[in-house]
């Protein structure tokens, strides 16, 4: 059975000297998942979209640049950025230090998912999950 809570120390997942963009899965539950992304100095995540997932970026450490919907803006520690599903976006670390960002994805729910959601609710009610 999945516990109703979870906790972790994000800083424990940061590589000391990343040799390229490092992705570490932090958690996944139903339509929600999170990853820790570490971009080494002078690296980038190229422009891309997620048609079925909204993203929330929380900058943990360092600084970089977000490109969202054609607009560049700074991403210092403490910055939180929401990217709606289907919006082109990229990340770039122009600094001399690693840039650490937690990315939380939430899958969009469509009417065609109703059967899956009802089945999951029934299994939970019957304690089959």
Q: In 20-98, at which residue ranges do the beta strands (DSSP E only) sit? A: 22-29, 32-39, 43-48, 53-61, 63-68, 71-76, 80-83, 89-93
Write out the two tokens for 129: 């999950």
Full set of structural domains in the chain with CATH: 10-125 (2.60.120.10)
Predicted local confidence at residue 1, as pLDDT: 40
Predicted local confidence at residue 25, as pLDDT: 87
pLDDT tens, 87-128? Answer: 999 999 999 999 999 999 998 766 665 666 667 667 777 776
Q: What percent of the chain has pLDDT over 90?
A: 54
Q: Is the pTM of this model over 0.85?
A: no
């Amino acid at each position: 059975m999945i516990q109703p809570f979870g906790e972790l120390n994000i800083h424990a997942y940061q590589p000391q000297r990343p040799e390229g963009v490092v992705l570490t899965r932090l958690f996944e539950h139903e339509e929600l998942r999170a990853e820790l992304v570490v971009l080494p100095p002078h690296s980038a995540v190229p422009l891309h979209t997620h048609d079925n997932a909204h993203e929330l970026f929380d900058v943990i450490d360092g600084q970089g640049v977000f490109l969202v919907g054609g607009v560049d803006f700074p991403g210092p520690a403490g910055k939180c950025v929401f990217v709606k599903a289907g919006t082109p976006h990229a990340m770039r670390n122009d600094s001399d230090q690693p840039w650490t960002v937690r990315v939380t994805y939430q899958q969009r729910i469509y009417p065609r998912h109703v059967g899956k959601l009802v089945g999951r609710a029934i299994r939970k009610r019957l304690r089959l999950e």
